[in-house]
A = this chain, B = another copy of it.
Amino acid sequence: MRVRDIGEFELIGHLAETLGALDRGPRLRVAIGDDAAAWDSPAGMTVLSTDTMVEGVHFNRDRTSWRDLGWKAMAVNLSDVAAMGCSPGYSVVTLGLHGGLPVDGLKEMYLGMADACRRFGGAAVGGDVVRSPVFFVTVAMTGMAGDGDTPLLLRGAARPGDQVAVTGSLGGSAGGLRMLAEGPVLDDKTGSYLRDAHNRPAPRVSEGAILRRDGVLAAIDISDGLVADLDKLCEASGVGAVVRSGLLPVDARLKAAFPQDWLSLALSGGEDYELLFTAPPRTMESAISALEIPSAIVGDIVAAPRGVSVLDRDGRPVAVERGGWDHFRDSPDPSRAGRQDQA
């Protein structure tokens, strides 16, 4: 059996099984299968997350500037820490480099990382530089949970009766990717919105902390797409979800640029790095009102059926590609624009 013969989720299942059979001590709270690992320490809970961007897979230097690449490499990790409801701490950066890369570009990239940290917290404090025929950037980021009595935001904590909500708006990053690949849209203002949505995502760090403080228990960040990530949350929680497509928050500029496709971009596009969270209605109301950015309730958690259904205004099912982006199969559908399909 090769990696390509099974999907990403099955592969992770195999690896988690191997890891899970090992004794890892009583302090471990969250292991493989959430946005970050977490454990108790005398300082409170500590989280550790890592995320990688590989050239030609997760980014393309024709479409993403060096500075934006640094921002994004840091932002995707900040988003993981945010999705646990934690504050970003120090991080280490691994660069896999070949000789042809420009040194000034790499310095620009570090400045982009610093830009993101200045705005959202954390700091890069070391790392490793290795030779690699393929350029990649890996960040490993610690985070602090602060008040250890307040539960972390977890994928496995959604319950039937919860409402499902998302911060910000959806599909902009995938729209930006499509524009960068296929050419300009409408006007410069729309183009610049879409480009920034793709290249300079805003991880929801303060929002994650507010949600956790205000009693939300379940969250995940949207990296592979609303439906794919909600599916992971449902799987981890042993529940199902119904999403109402009419409730999805979609920016008017995305709708204008892609009048045919905005819904599919919003449902499956990925890389929005918004938070997807669930809570009972009363908790949801107070949590949403505490946030400083708009958030939208988009559906409900149900006991059955498992998985995610999307319904239109008339209650009819909307066809959606399922299962998240499958990173390893040989023939990906090139129309998908998930995190693994940016090259």
- A residues contacting B by CB (< 8 A) are 1-6, 8, 11-12, 14-15, 18-19, 22, 24-25, 28, 30-34, 36-37, 39, 41-44, 46, 48-52, 54, 56-58, 89-92, 94, 96-104, 106-107, 110-111, 114, 117-118, 123-134, 136, 138, 140, 142, 144, 327-330, 340
Q: In whole angstroms, how far apart are the Cα atoms of A156 and B34 in the complex?
A: 38
**Which residues does chain B contribute within 8 Å of A123, judged by CB atoms?**
22, 24-25, 28
B138 touches A94 (CB 8 A): yes
Identify the 6 closest CB pairs spanning chains A and B, nearest first. A4-B99, A140-B140, A37-B126, A43-B43, A42-B43, A37-B125
Q: Are B111 and A34 in contact (CB-based, < 8 A)? A: no
Contact of A99 among B2, B44, B132 (CB under 8 A): B2
Q: Specify which chain B residues have a CB less than 8 angstroms from the CB of A5 in the assembled complex.
A: 103
Is B131 a contact partner of A327 (Cβ separation < 8 A)? yes
| Closest B residue by C-beta to A124 | B19
Question: Can you list 24 A-B contacts with CB-CB less than 8 angstroms, sorted by A residue number?
Answer: A2-B102, A3-B97, A4-B99, A4-B100, A5-B103, A11-B106, A11-B129, A12-B129, A14-B107, A19-B124, A24-B125, A25-B123, A31-B125, A32-B126, A37-B92, A39-B125, A41-B43, A42-B42, A43-B43, A48-B126, A50-B128, A52-B128, A57-B130, A140-B140
CB neighbours of A4 from chain B (8 A): 99-100
A126 / chain B contacts, CB cutoff of 8 Å:
30-34, 36-37, 48-50
**Min C-beta distance of A198 to chain B, whole Å:** 18
In the complex, what distance in Å separates the CA atom of A168 from the CA atom of B47? 35
* In the complex, chain B residues whose CB is within 8 Å of the CB of A58: 130
CA distance A148 to B34 in the complex (A): 31
Known contacts A2-B101, A99-B328, A134-B134, A8 near B129 by CB under 8 Å? yes
Known: A19-B110, A99-B2, A99-B3. A328 touches B131 (CB 8 A): yes
Q: Is B100 a contact of A32 with CB atoms below 8 Å?
A: no
A-B contacts besides A1-B104, A22-B118, 10 pairs, CB < 8 Å: A3-B97, A11-B97, A14-B107, A15-B129, A19-B125, A37-B125, A49-B126, A52-B94, A56-B133, A99-B328
Q: In the bound complex, what is the Cα–Cα distance between A99 and B111 (angstroms)?
A: 34
Question: Is B3 a contact of A98 with CB atoms below 8 Å?
Answer: yes
- How distant is the Cα of A101 from the Cα of B101 in the complex, in angstroms? 28
Q: Is the CB of A130 within 8 A of B54?
A: yes
**Which residues of chain B are near A100, meaning CB under 8 Å?**
2-4
For the complex formed, measure the closest distance between the CB of A122 and the CB atoms of chain B, giving whole angstroms: 9
Known: A3-B101, A37-B90, A37-B126. A15 touches B52 (CB 8 A): no
